A = this chain, B = another copy of it.
Amino acid sequence: MTKPEVLFFDVLGTVVDWRGSIAAEVSSFLARNNAAHIDAGALADAWVGRYDSSVEPIRRGLQSFATLDVVNLSNLEGTLEEFGLKISELPHAELVHLNQAWHRLKPWPDSVKGISNMKERFVVAPLSDGHTRLLVNMAKHGGLPWDTVIGADISRTYKPMPQAYLRACEVLGVKPHNAMLIAAHDYDLRAARECGFKTALVVRENARDPSKTGEPASNEDWDFSVGNLIELANILLAA
C-alpha cells in the first residue's frame, strides 16, 4: 500500500466520547432545572437519535446547509418537550449552554497522544459533521493537535455524501488515494472508500450512533483495524 499523506479523522465517537460528555452535561442541566428525575443517558440518546433524519434534507439538497449548532438546538428543543419539559419555561441561556456542550466533548484517553504521534509524519485533520468553529473550540478544550480544521461548513453537506470527503481532499490538495479516513463507524468508512480513501477502523466501545439503527457489525476488510489511536500511530509510523 502506498503511504497516505493526509490522515482525516471522524471526530464524534472516534476521537471524542460524545456520549459520556453529553450525558454528563445533560445530567447537570437537568439537576439545575429541577428535572433530575429524567434519565440523562436516555435523553442524550434521544437527542442524538433525531440527528440523522434532521440532516437528511441537507444531504439531499432539499434544504440549505445549517451548522450543528442550529440542527442540534432544534433537536434539543424537540427532545426536551418529548421528555415533558416546557421550552418556554426554561432559561434560553441554559439551552444555549447545553447545546454548546458539543464544543466541549472530551477526547478518548488515547486521542491526543495518538494524533500527536501521527502528526509527526502526516497531515492530521478532522473530517466531521461539526463546523469549523465547533471543531476549533473542541480542539482547544481538549488539546487536539490538528494541523488544520475543515468543518462541514466548507463542504456545506453532511457525511456520508461524497462531497464531504472530496471537498476535504480538495482543500488539502490531496488525491483521495493519498488520504486515509480513520473512523469508528462503518457507514463512514464505506463512503470514504467509495471516494478512493484508504480506511482505518477504530473499534470503540460506546461510540454507537443512536440515530443510525440497523448498522451491521463491522466485518469488512478495512486497510487497518485497531483498538485505539496510539496503536494506529505505532503501525503507521513503523510502516
Q: Which residues of A contact B (CB under 8 A)?
A: 67, 119, 123, 131-133, 135-136, 139-140, 146-151, 153-154, 171-174
| Shortest beta-carbon distance from A173 to chain B in Å | 4
Chain B: CB-nearest residue to A125: B136
Taking CB atoms, residues of chain B closer than 8 Å to A133 are 171-174
In the complex the two chains form, what is the Cα distance from A203 to B220 in whole Å?
A: 57
Q: What 9 pairs between A and B have smallest CB-CB spacing?
A: A133-B173, A148-B149, A132-B171, A136-B147, A136-B148, A148-B148, A133-B172, A123-B136, A132-B172
CA distance A140 to B171 in the complex (A): 17
The answer to whether B149 and A147 have CB atoms under 8 Å apart is yes
Apart from A149-B149, A154-B154, 6 more pairs, CB < 8 Å: A67-B173, A132-B171, A136-B147, A139-B147, A148-B149, A154-B171
Q: What's the Cα separation between A148 and B173 when bound, in Å?
A: 16
Sample (25) of A-B pairs whose CB atoms are under 8 Å apart: A67-B173, A119-B140, A123-B136, A123-B140, A131-B173, A132-B148, A132-B150, A132-B171, A133-B171, A133-B172, A133-B173, A133-B174, A135-B148, A136-B147, A136-B148, A136-B172, A139-B147, A147-B149, A148-B148, A148-B149, A149-B149, A151-B171, A153-B171, A154-B154, A154-B171
